Amino acid sequence: MGDWHPAPAARWQPPTGWGTVRNDAAGPRPGKEPYVEPVEALERIAFLLERQGAVTYRVQAFRTAATVIGALSADELRTRARSGSLARLKGLGPKTTRVIEEALAGARPEYLTHLEEEAGGPLVEGAQGQRLRQALRGDCHLHSDWSDGGSPVETMARAARDLGHSWCVLTDHSPRLTVARGLTAERLRQQLSLVAEVNERLAPFRLLTGIECDILDDGSLDQEPELLEQLDVVVASVHSKLRMDKGPMTRRLLAAVRNPLVDVLGHCTGRQITGRPRPESQFDAEAVFAACAEHHTAVEINCRPDRFDPPRRLLRLALETGTLFSIDSDAHAPGQLDWQIYGCARAEECGVPPERVINTWTERQLATWTRTGRTPHR
Ligand SMILES: [Zn+2]
Ligand SMILES: [Zn+2]
C-alpha cells in the first residue's frame, strides 16, 4: 500500500449538488416528501462504492437500476412499487429494489445509511490537501465507457460538476491500447460531437475535449496529429514497454514532452503500488522535467491510490526544475473523481504552490496556455 493512509470514516459533509438528502432523523414519513429520491439514492450508493475503490461489477447494479427507473415517470414507479412488481423490471435485483422501496416509503435507505457511515467520511486526515483542493476548478484526466471507464460521458461530466468543478477534460485512450478499447480516429471524432451535445445540456459547466494518448516506443504519439491539434487538452502516457532501458526511455519521454501537441505528461513512472505492484520505469527524470518546463508540458500528479505517481522524491525534483503540475483523478468511474484530494495532499506536502497547478486555472486561462504556453501568472 506504500504511503497511502486511508482516513477513518468520519461524518460526511454533503458536497454541492447533493442537496436532496436531509440529515434529520431517519425513519418512514408516509405521505411526506421522501428523504431522498430513489434515483439519487442509487447514484449516491454507486458513487460511494466507487470512491471506496470497489470494482466495477459491484457498482454496476446500482448504476443500471438508476438508469432503469430514471426512464419511468414518478407515477409509474409508485404504481409498480405498490403492486410489488418493481423486481420484475429488467436490471433490478433484490438489493436495488429494496433501496427504491425504502426511498419511496419516505425512509433513508438502510444500505445508503450504512455506506455513508462506512465510506462517506473524508478520504484524508485533517486539513491535508484541503486548501489546494478548494483551489481546483477542473480535472484533466478521466475516462468514460467509450474506453475502459465504467460510466457514460455525461454521467462523468455531471459528477465532476457536482463535486464543484467548472470544467473537466474527457481523456479516453488511444487506438493501440486495445485492452482498454482505445478510440480510433473515427470514434474520437464521433465522441467530439457527443461532447458538444453534453456541453449544451450542462452549460455553464464545460466538458473539454481530450485524449490520453499512448507514447509509442520511439516517443511518437498514437493518434493523427491533425486530430490531436483539434483537442483542448492532450495527456500523453506510457502504457507499453515500461521496462525499457534508461537511455531509450529517456529519449522516448523527451520526444513526447517536447511535442507541441502534448500538454500533460501522464503518470510518468508507470509504477503500480497496490495489487500486482510494478516498479518505476527508469529514465533521466531531471532531463525530462527540464524539457517539460521548457516546452510547456505539465507533469501530472496522478491521484489513483494504486499509482500515486510520481513518487514524492520525483515530485520534489519536478518542483525544483520549474515544471507546472496537473492534479488528475484519472477516474474510471464517477466516485473516483473525488480522489483528487490524495494528489492535493501529496502536492501540499511537497510544497507545490497553487499557481503552479494548471487545474486551478479557468477554462480560458487553460486554453491560452495550451495554445501559447503563456501562464496566467507570468
Ligand atoms: Zn494511463
Ligand atoms: Zn488514464
pLDDT at 11: 32
> In this predicted model, which residue has the larger pLDDT, 2 or 94?
94
C-alpha cell at 120: 462517506
143: CA distance to ligand 2 center in Å?
Answer: 6
- Please state, for a pLDDT cut of 90, what percent of the chain lies above it: 86
The span from the CA of 191 to the CA of 175, in Å, is 14
pLDDT, position 18: 41
Is it the case that residue 253 has pLDDT exceeding 70? Answer: yes
For ligand 1, the distance from its centroid to the CA atom of residue 239, given in whole angstroms, is 6
Alpha carbon distance 174, 165 (integer Å): 25
Residue 35 has a pLDDT of 77
359 Cα–ligand 1 center, Å: 18
User: Residue 27 Cα, ligand 2 centroid: separation in angstroms?
Assistant: 42
Report pLDDT for 32: 52
Structure confidence by residue, pLDDT tens digits, 327-340: 999 999 999 999 99
Answer yes or no: are the C-beta atoms of 29 and 317 closer than 8 Å. no
Whether 2 shows a pLDDT value over 50: the answer reads no
CA 160 – ligand 1 centroid, Å: 19
Give the orientation angle of helix 340-349 with respect to helix 312-321, to 10 degrees.
Answer: 70
Q: Which domains does the chain have, with CATH numbers?
A: 1-122 (1.10.150.110), 130-372 (3.20.20.140)
Question: 141 CA to middle of ligand 1, Å?
Answer: 9
On the question of pLDDT at 240 being above 70, the answer is yes
* Protein residues near ligand 2, an ion, with CB under 5 A: 212, 330
Residue 319 has pLDDT above 90, yes or no: yes
Given CA atoms 94, 95, 100, 101 in this order, what sign does their dihedral have?
positive
Ligand nearest to the CA of 210: 2
Radius of gyration of the chain, Cα coordinates, nearest whole angstrom = 22
Ligand nearest, relative to CA of residue 309: 1
Average pLDDT over residues 169-184: 96
CA 142 to centroid of ligand 1, rounded, Å: 10
pLDDT tens digits, residue range 33-49? 567 899 999 999 999 99
Backbone φ, ψ for residue 209 (5° rounding): -85, 150
How close is the Cα of 214 to the center of ligand 1, in Å?
8
Instruction: Measure 237 CA to ligand 1 centroid, in angstroms.
Output: 6
Q: What is the pLDDT of residue 8?
A: 35
Which ligand has its closest atom nearest to the C-alpha of 147? Answer: 2
Q: What is the mean pLDDT of residues 17-29?
A: 41
Q: What is the pLDDT of residue 57?
A: 81
Spacing, Cα 180 to ligand 1 middle (Å)? 10
Sheet with strand 233-237: strands edge to edge: 167-170, 206-214, 233-237, 264-265, 298-302, 325-328
Instruction: Decide if pLDDT at 290 tops 50.
Output: yes
Which residues are placed with Cβ below 5 angstroms of ligand 1, an ion? 237
* d(CA 171, ligand 2 centre) in Å: 7
**pLDDT mean over 185-205:** 98
- Residue 238 CA, ligand 1 centroid: distance in Å: 7
Ligand nearest to the CA of 239: 1
Q: Is the pLDDT of residue 252 over 70?
A: yes
For residue 26, what pLDDT is reported?
Answer: 43
Quick: pLDDT tens for 126-146: 899 999 999 999 999 999 999
Confidence of residue 95 (pLDDT cuts 50, 70, 90): very high
For residue 326, which of 140, 128, 129 has the smallest C-alpha distance? 140
Q: What is the mean pLDDT of the chain?
A: 91
What the block records as the C-alpha cell of 316 is 520534489
